[in-house]
Amino acid sequence: MDQALTLRNIALGAEGFDMEPAKATRVIAVSSGKGGVGKTNSVVNLAVAFARTGKKVLLFDADLGLGNLDVLLGIAPRYNVGHLLSGERTIDEVLVKGPEGILILPASSGVHELTDLGPEERLALASHLESLNADIDIMIIDTGAGISNNVLFFNVAAQEIVVIVTPEPTSITDAYALMKVLFQKHGERTFRLLVNSAKSKKDALEVYRKISLAAERFLNISVDYLGCVLHDENVPKSVIQQKAVMELYPQTKASVCFREVADAIWDLPMRKSLKGGMQFFWRQILNRNF
pLDDT value for 109? 65
16 assigned to some structural domain: no
pLDDT value for 190? 93
State CA 20 to chain mean position distance.
26
pLDDT value for 165? 98
pLDDT value for 4? 41
CA 36, 41, 42, 44 dihedral sign is positive
222-230 sheet: strands from edge to edge: 96-97, 103-105, 57-62, 138-145, 26-32, 160-165, 190-198, 222-230
Report CA-CA distances (Å) from 195 to 106, 109, 165. Answer: 26, 28, 5
pLDDT value for 281? 53
Q: How many domains does the chain have?
A: 1
* Residue 43: Cβ within 10 Å count: 24
pLDDT value for 112? 55
In sequence order, what are the beta bridge partners of 30? 142, 162
Residue 161 and residue 27: Cα distance in Å, rounded? 9
Report CA-CA distances (Å) from 251 to 36, 102, 245, 258. Answer: 25, 21, 9, 11
Give burial (CB, 10 Å; 0-12/13-18/19+) of 184.
exposed
154 assigned to some structural domain: yes
Q: Domain containing 205 — which CATH number?
A: 3.40.50.300
pLDDT value for 153? 87
pLDDT value for 55? 96
- Judge contact between 212 and 223, C-beta under 8 A: yes
pLDDT value for 270? 78
* Residue 123: Cβ within 10 Å count: 15
Per-position pLDDT tens, the chain of length 290:
344 444 344 444 444 434 444 567 899 999 999 999 999 999 999 999 999 999 999 999 988 767 788 889 999 899 988 888 888 988 999 999 999 999 999 987 655 556 667 777 877 787 787 777 678 999 999 998 999 888 998 898 888 999 999 999 999 999 999 999 999 999 999 999 999 999 999 999 999 999 999 999 999 998 999 999 999 999 999 999 999 999 999 999 999 999 999 999 999 987 654 434 444 455 555 556 66
Cβ-based neighbours of 271, under 8 Å, separated by 6 or more: 159
- Judge contact between 214 and 208, C-beta under 8 A: no
5 assigned to some structural domain: no
Contacts of 79-87 spanning 24+ positions with Cβ under 8 A: 79/106, 80/106, 80/107, 80/108, 81/105, 81/106, 81/107, 81/108, 81/114, 81/125, 82/108, 82/111, 82/114, 84/124, 84/125, 84/128, 85/114, 85/121, 85/124, 85/125, 87/124
Domain that holds residue 220: 24-278
pLDDT value for 126? 76
pLDDT value for 283? 53
Residue 63 and residue 167: Cα distance in Å, rounded? 24
pLDDT value for 204? 98
pLDDT value for 131? 75
257 assigned to some structural domain: yes
289 assigned to some structural domain: no
